[in-house]
Structures are given as structure tokens and as C-alpha cells.
Amino acid sequence: MDNILYVGGDNSQFNTLTEAIKALPDNDEMFALRIAPGEYKEKIELRRGNLLIEGMGNFPDETEITYDDCARKDMPDGSKYGTFRSYSFFIDASNVTLRNLTISNKSGPENEAWQAIALYADGDLLTFENVRLLGHQDTLFTGPLPPKEIQPGGFIGPKQFDERINGRHYYKNCYICGNVDFIFGSATAYFEDCTIESLAKAGYLKKQKEGKLTEADATQGYTSAPSTPQGQTFGYVFKDCDFISKECPPGSVYLARPWRDYAKAVYIDCCIGDHISDAGFHDWNKALARKESYFAVMDCYRPDGRAFFPTESFARFPGDEDISLYEKSKVLG
């Protein structure tokens, strides 16, 4: 590729990723931004497609883009940032690939920060390879937003009034961590060979050590909360992914719950750690979601090899013939 810009390091053209993005020409040429190892504390806003952004280190943890905004943070006018202005890295473009880097939100645990997005990804043909996404609550948002907010002002942010356009996302060999709804949104998203790690809620380990656990500590989180629009063919597909936790006790985490009633999430050939409840899924106390959501499990298993069959009554168990419907090429078109 001829169009390459370098960020960081001794011989780079730019010291920050923000500077490099601003220097990109306003056309459809394909460009690559190569980032030297290091930590870059920047709040990134990317609205230009046809782009590859790649860390130059040997491993993704050597190149980190981080910020620390959160829903609880005060705006200059005294209002709160809210969830959808809290991102560290915001993508509003199509045909973008991120590779071999880390994106984090370091605002702190969810009881201090509330929601805090690391990556806000809204666009079509977005690809993430060997990317680490670090946060607590709401780590990864796969836009677009649902059609309507539940609470007034709940969608305040850069895409609040934009048309909702479904995008296709591909996450390959990524690591994503968090605790509450840390993968959420409306996109068609295919997760392949990813590690999904559930973190314990803030203060849990201390309370456990002191013997002060309460009934509220029985649930430590939800790995995803899809908001698939009504009529959309695909929501989330997890293929050959590992769901792990070093902190959460057995049975304390749910695979998913429906942010909106027509949520879809399918799990194929995944290793489901013992921290995941036998129920598998939670209905978020939504009667319509129990009927209209689609949470399915195919050939998943526990770490010891036992087959994983969620006990929650609205979980689906399609037959082998249906697995072909969820091939990557069919889901992502």
C-alpha cells in the first residue's frame, strides 16, 4: 500500500492518531495509519472510511489508545456526559479495519463511572483483528442506536438524531472484557475466535474476602445486550469463542439479555465457562422479549467437555441443519 501515514516513534510524521486522521485527504482513497508501540491518551473521532489503522508492535497490548470519559462525568453546563458521549474511540464510517492494538476506557469501575464505552463502532464493513477492548460497563457499542430511547435524553451523543442504518461488523481473534452489558447494540456482528472475559463487579472481591456478600452479589453481569431491530435477519453471532472469568463465581453471569425486545444472539461451538449461569440468558423482565427475542445455542460446551444446554425456557436449540444459516459469509454478506 502506497498511502501510509506513521504515528509515534522516532521517524513518524505525527505524534498523535488525531493529527494523522485530520491529515487524511477528503476522498475515497484507501489509507493506512501505522502506530508505533506506546500509550496514546486521545479521544478519537473517526468519520472517514477506507482506512486501516494498525499497531506496529508484536502484540496488541503494546499499542494502546485510551481515554477516561464516562456517563457520570459532568459536562461544562452541569449535565452528565451520558453513555454515548463516553467513548474513547468513535467510528462513524464504513470500510474500516483496526488491527493489532488495544482500545480502553480507564474511567474506573462501574459504580464510580457508570457506563463507559471504550469503542463506539457505527458503520458498515467494519473489521477488528487482534484487538483488545478493555472496560467495565458497556465496553463495546455496536451501533446503530435503537429507534427510540426509553428514558428522555438517554441517547444524547453524536448519533442521537441520525438515521439508523444497520452495519456489518467482524471481530476476529479479539479480547473483550467487562461486566455489565459489555457488548451491546443493534449491528449485525460476527465474533470469531474471540475471548470474552467477565470481570467481577466493583468491590465484589473485597466483600468476598471480608465475608460481606449480599443477595445482590449473586449476579455479576451480562456479557451482551443486543438490540437487534425488528425484522433484521441477524444480530450477534459468536463462533468458536471462549467465555472466561478469573473473578466471577460459578453461575453468576448471564450470556445475554435483550436490550430491546427483538434481540438476537447465537452461540456456535463456544466454550462456556462455569461463571455462566445454567440458565444462560436473562429476559430483563420483558414479557414480549421472551416471545420475540432469539437466543440460540449450538454445539457449545463447558470447559470440562460437558454439553451446554441453557435451562431458561426461551433459549433455542436449533438442529444441526440450521448451523449453515450462520456461516460467516451468509451473516456478513
- Cα distances from 133 to residues 67, 88, 99, 224, 225, in angstroms, run 12, 10, 12, 14, 16
Q: Closest by alpha carbon to 264, among 325, 179, 186, 320?
A: 186
**H or E element in which residue 329 lies:** helix 328-332
pLDDT by residue for the chain (333 residues), tens digit each? 679 999 998 888 999 999 999 999 999 999 999 999 999 999 999 999 999 999 999 999 999 999 999 999 999 999 999 999 999 999 999 999 999 999 999 998 888 889 999 999 999 999 999 999 999 999 999 999 999 999 899 999 999 999 999 999 999 999 999 999 999 999 999 999 999 999 999 888 888 888 888 888 899 999 999 999 999 999 999 999 999 999 999 999 999 999 999 999 999 999 999 999 999 999 999 999 999 999 999 999 999 999 999 999 999 998 777 889 999 999 999
* Domains of the chain in sequence order: 4-212+221-332 (2.160.20.10)
User: From the CB of residue 85, how many other CB atoms can be counted at a distance below 10 Å?
Assistant: 21
Over residues 176-213, the pLDDT tens digits come to 999 999 999 999 999 999 999 999 998 888 888 888 88
The predicted model scores a pTM of 0.97
Please answer whether residues 87 and 117 qualify as being in contact, where contact means their C-beta atoms are separated by less than 8 angstroms. Answer: yes
User: For residue 217, what are the contacts with CB-CB under 8 A and spacing of at least 6?
Assistant: 201, 204, 207, 208, 252
Residue 226 carries which side chain, given as an amino acid letter?
A: P
